[in-house]
């Protein structure tokens, strides 16, 4: 196993990586810089789009372009023009709540968390945006929703409340898009303690970045720690398998300057972990 710092721009809050198998390109975001990036590892091509608000996550659309989790709801992004437009806004609107991390389930829904803007009150939740552009609530009373991902058989949805230091598991009905029977999957308190972005490999293990802990954890479907990989930054923010074989792990990180803290040498950079001996699963596109 080896960890390499990638020759990509430093981020304030690097987050939300999405590897697109069709394009063989990796998309990721910088939350507070309000940017979406696209990186082609084969050619080295790197592009950026500015968006009008802080961005919690993104997903590609089957019809082209992307959906963005902005402060007030889900918006579209046209890659050709760079224009954004509202698609589905939170109703009722709440100035104290913003959209957070999200991913697409294998039926094409965009599932995303929300958070209290200061992550100090349980005003966040878990939501699903269907192809009909309607938002449905799946869970509530979270401080900061993060890291949604699914087991390979689609029967389990994982989602964290980062500030509670807990990753939850839900029973998930892919046909209806409902989540129920929430239970504690893993308490990250001993590792940092903030569970951030996560992904699932083809064997069903979770890979989750522990922000403030400086590690990426590999967790079994039973919630057991299989390994804790120490990163060159204390602030890894997410992870995503990428590459032609889906066997490389992309890990963005955070520069704590926006918190008034001096960044350490490795903070804010993007990393790749090679030689893990596992492969990821393709990310679906939003069907709406």
DSSP states of 142-169 as a string? ESBEEEEEE-TTS-EEEEEEGGGTEEEE
Residues 150/156, Cβ–Cβ less than 8 Å: yes
CATH assignment of 2-274?
2.120.10.30
Q: What whole-number distance in Å separates Cα of residue 288 and Cα of residue 286?
A: 6
Q: What whole-number distance in Å separates Cα of residue 29 and Cα of residue 159?
A: 20
Task: Check residue 243 and give its pLDDT.
Answer: 98
Is the pLDDT at 121 greater than 90? The verdict is: no
* Contacts for 244 with CB less than 8 Å, ≥ 6 apart: 24
Q: Is 198 helix (H, G, I), strand (E, B) or coil?
A: strand
Q: Which of 187, 155, 189, 161 is nearest to 173 (CA)?
A: 155
Is the pLDDT at 42 greater than 90? The verdict is: yes
Task: Check residue 118 and give its pLDDT.
Answer: 81
Residues 109/287, Cβ–Cβ less than 8 Å: yes
* Contacts for 287 with CB less than 8 Å, ≥ 6 apart: 62, 107, 108, 109, 131
Confidence (pTM): 0.96
| For residues 17-33, average pLDDT | 97
Q: What whole-number distance in Å separates Cα of residue 17 and Cα of residue 58?
A: 8
| For residues 176-182, average pLDDT | 97
Q: Which two tokens stand for residue 83?
A: 């224009």
Q: pLDDT (tens digit, 9 = 90+) per residue, 52-86?
A: 999 999 999 999 999 999 999 999 999 999 999 99
Write the secondary structure of 78-110 as one string of H (helix), E (strand) and C (coil).
Answer: CCCCCCEEEEEECCCCCCCEEEEEEEECCCCCE
DSSP state, residue 253: B
Residues 167/186, Cβ–Cβ less than 8 Å: yes
Q: What whole-number distance in Å separates Cα of residue 204 and Cα of residue 226?
A: 12
Task: Check residue 120 and give its pLDDT.
Answer: 81
| For residues 259-266, average pLDDT | 88
* Contacts for 157 with CB less than 8 Å, ≥ 6 apart: 105, 111, 148, 149, 150, 169, 170, 171, 172, 179
| For residues 105-125, average pLDDT | 92
Task: Check residue 258 and give its pLDDT.
Answer: 81
* Annotated catalytic residue, options 101, 139, 196, 267: 196
Residues 18/240, Cβ–Cβ less than 8 Å: yes
Residue 40 known to be catalytic = no
């Amino acid at each position: 196993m080896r960890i390499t710092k990638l020759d990509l721009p430093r981020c304030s809050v690097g987050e939300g990586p999405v590897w697109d198998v069709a394009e063989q390109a990796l998309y990721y975001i910088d939350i507070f810089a309000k940017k979406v990036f696209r990186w082609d590892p084969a050619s080295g091509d790197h592009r950026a789009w500015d968006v009008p608000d802080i961005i919690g996550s993104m997903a590609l659309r089957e019809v082209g372009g992307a959906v963005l989790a902005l402060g007030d709801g889900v918006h579209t992004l046209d890659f050709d023009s760079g224009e954004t437009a509202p698609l589905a806004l939170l109703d009722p609107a709440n100035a104290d709540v913003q959209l957070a991390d999200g991913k697409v389930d294998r039926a094409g829904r965009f599932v995303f968390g929300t958070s209290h803007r200061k992550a100090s009150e349980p005003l966040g939740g878990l939501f699903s945006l269907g192809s009909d552009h309607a938002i449905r609530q799946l869970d509530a009373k979270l401080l900061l929703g993060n890291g949604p991902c699914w087991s390979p058989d689609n029967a389990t949805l994982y989602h964290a409340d980062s500030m509670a230091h807990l990753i939850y598991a839900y029973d998930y009905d892919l046909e209806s898009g409902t989540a129920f029977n929430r239970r504690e999957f893993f308490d990250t308190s001993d590792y940092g303690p903030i569970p951030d972005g996560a992904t699932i490999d083809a064997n069903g293990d979770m890979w989750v970045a522990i922000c403030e802990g400086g590690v990426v954890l590999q967790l079994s479907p039973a919630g057991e720690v299989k390994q804790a990989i120490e990163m060159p930054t204390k602030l890894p923010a997410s992870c995503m398998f990428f590459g032609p074989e889906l066997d490389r792990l992309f890990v963005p990180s955070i520069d704590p300057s926006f918190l008034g803290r001096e960044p350490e040498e490795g903070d804010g950079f993007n990393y790749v972990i090679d030689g893990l001996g596992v492969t990821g699963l393709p990310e679906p596109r939003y069907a709406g």
